[in-house]
Amino acid sequence: MGGPSSEPGRLPQGGPAVHFADYDMKIHKEGRRILFFTALALLAINLLLQRYNAAADGFNKVFAVVSVIAFLLLLQFFRSPFRNLLTHEDIVIAPADGKVVVIEDVHEPEYFDDVRKQISVFMSPINVHITRNPVSGVVKYFKYHPGKYLVAWHPKSSTKNERTTVVVESEAGPQVLFRQIAGAMARRIVWYVNEGDEVSQGEEFGFIKFGSRVDIFVPVDTEMKVQIGDKVKGGQTVIAQLKTSSPSLFGG
């Protein structure tokens, strides 16, 4: 197999057909209630300022502008943009938007209790915060861990922070573990999967509010298709290829 592409997740020429599914831009369901009550609160404060603080017209105008900017920033955080989802049984797709900050062989103690290759994607507050299934298959393990809120790039955040752990037995055979990890700003993790569920590659498995990271653990012989520093898109970027008896997307 070839080495990492200079463009993360780029498809090879002449490869087999793969499936893409289209989704329209929308506001994610996790943000609708927050956005509604935020808009209501900001509107109420601005109306009260206009009524009871009319003498400070300059301040009121500045506050109105700040209110609009704050609401737009919150709106973009909860966006759920159009995505062409790439699916194939022997590839691992980025579970979230962000930047690859870790690729290394580590001991995974919670489920495998052996050495696995870890790939970590850091999500900044301006990224889309939907988390997606990196592979299709059956959920063999799920656990929620309460914990701390260390900054997401801290080495101990993977084991000390609030997090969820999901293990999927992929359609290609190997098991893939992935973790939502809360950060200093992310104070709520939402998940939509349970043990025994059948999941589809690219579909949402959760949401992390206000920035964090996702860790993926794959067998050590898995071929990487990204490098540290690469920017990836959830559901679209190929980050790795699982080693199977007959890999087909990128060739044998």
Q: Is 120 assigned a catalytic role? A: no
The answer to whether 90 touches 241, Cβ cutoff 8 Å, is yes
From the candidates 80, 136, 212, 248, which is the catalytic residue?
A: 212
**For residue 120, which amino acid is it?**
S
The answer to whether 217 touches 118, Cβ cutoff 8 Å, is yes
Q: Which residues contact 106 (CB under 8 A, 6 or more apart)?
A: 115, 116, 117, 118, 217
SS3 content of the chain, % helix, strand, coil (to 5): 20, 35, 45
**For residue 42, which amino acid is it?**
L
Classified as helix, coil or strand, 159 is helix
CA nearest to 179, candidates 99, 97, 236, 118: 118
Active site amino acids:
212
